[in-house]
A and B are shown apart, each in its own frame.
Chain A
Amino acid sequence: MILQVVAPRLLGPALMFAAAIIVKGYADVGDGFSAGVVVALAISLRYVVLGPDQAEHGLPILRRAPVVAVAGLLVALASGFFPLLLGEPPFTHQPGPGEHVVKIGTLELITAVAFDIGVFLLVTGVLVVLVHHLTRLVERSQA
């Protein structure tokens, strides 16, 4: 009963927490991977409590999890390998050492953060795909 109330409402705070982990990741503990697992845990609670059909009915974007995973992978690879176009080694992040960085609070607009966001999307998408298949299997074996 408590879980049925908590499970659908936990996603908002989890997303906020994940955003905080990514934003402060460059200055403090945490990175895109941890943020992705936090969101995936909130979503998997939803799957376990509501079952796959109802979980995805209330939040149709969950059905796009494979797309999110692939998009994350492409964002990460693109932000890693774009320096090749400029004739530099891969993972030469912009702006370089000592150059000026645009800051929004703690968030620094550098390409390494784009890479981290790619990792976040990939990890979230991949884990949601996994939980989707496992909860479907469990439901079918009980039916």
Chain B
Amino acid sequence: MSVEDLAIVVLLAVAVAAALTAARDRGRLRPVLALAVLGFALAAVYAFAGAPDVALVAVLVETILTVVFVGVFSRLPATRRGVNPARPAIPSRRRWNLIAGVVAGLGAFVTIWAALSRPTLGGGAAKDELIRRTPGAHGGDVVTVILADFRGLDTAVEITVLAVAVFGVASLLRRGRSW
């Protein structure tokens, strides 16, 4: 096991601990900060795994998301002694919750394991093709070229959705006005 593998294992351990904290903690600020830690740990894993573009975007999005999360949570009504009224513990449902959680977790684990174990067919010809065509699009970074050029239509529709979503949120908060 190389040093990089060790770093990734440590970061994944941090991510697991942060995920458990986020799920189990009944406070408000701590789960949000734990989610942020989870995101940053995963961003560091991407950086080690040779995906600096994804790591950069993950760090930035995680930061702004934490700010937005804290802003939204500060508007929730106050709770008594950290008890969440939206999630009362019903004893009779606890067993079913546990079973449902275990089944969902096992399903996700098996799916991801199967997807990651399956060898890529044809040795990734599409990847080579994209990298070969990148200089033709006057670019050096294949990720940016894909976003702005090869798959530009996707990006255009995505940013349109982003604009529509934020103006929807704004008019909900301001009862019909966008500012």
Contacts and interface: CB of A to CB of B under 8 A. Distances in A.
A130 B160 contact: no
A31 B139 contact: no
B72 A134 contact: yes
B147 interface: yes
Contacts of B173: 133, 137
B67 A26 contact: no
A70 interface: yes
Contacts of B97: none
Interface string B76-95: 00000000000000000000
Contacts, number: 146
B71 A134 contact: yes
Interface stretch (B32-40, B58-66, B100-108): B58-66
Q: Which of A63, A97, A112 has the most CB of B within 10 A?
A: A112
A126 B162 contact: yes
Interface in B159-177: 159-160, 162-163, 166-167, 169-170, 173-174
A77 B153 CA distance: 9
The B contact surface, by secondary structure, is helix
Contacts of B155: 76, 115, 119
B14 interface: no
A115 B140 contact: no
A129 B164 CA distance: 12
Contacts of A34: 56-57, 60
A19 interface: no
Interface of A: 25-34, 37-38, 40-41, 44, 48, 63, 65-66, 69-70, 72-73, 76-77, 80-81, 90-91, 93, 95, 97-98, 101, 108, 110, 112-113, 115-116, 118-119, 122-123, 126-127, 129-135, 137-138, 141
Given A25-B141, A37-B57, A122-B159, 16 more contacts: A30-B141, A32-B148, A34-B60, A37-B63, A37-B64, A38-B60, A76-B159, A95-B138, A110-B138, A112-B137, A115-B148, A118-B159, A123-B162, A129-B167, A131-B67, A134-B68
17 contacts: A26-B145, A27-B139, A27-B141, A29-B52, A29-B53, A31-B143, A32-B148, A33-B57, A66-B178, A93-B148, A97-B133, A97-B137, A115-B156, A118-B159, A119-B148, A122-B159, A129-B178
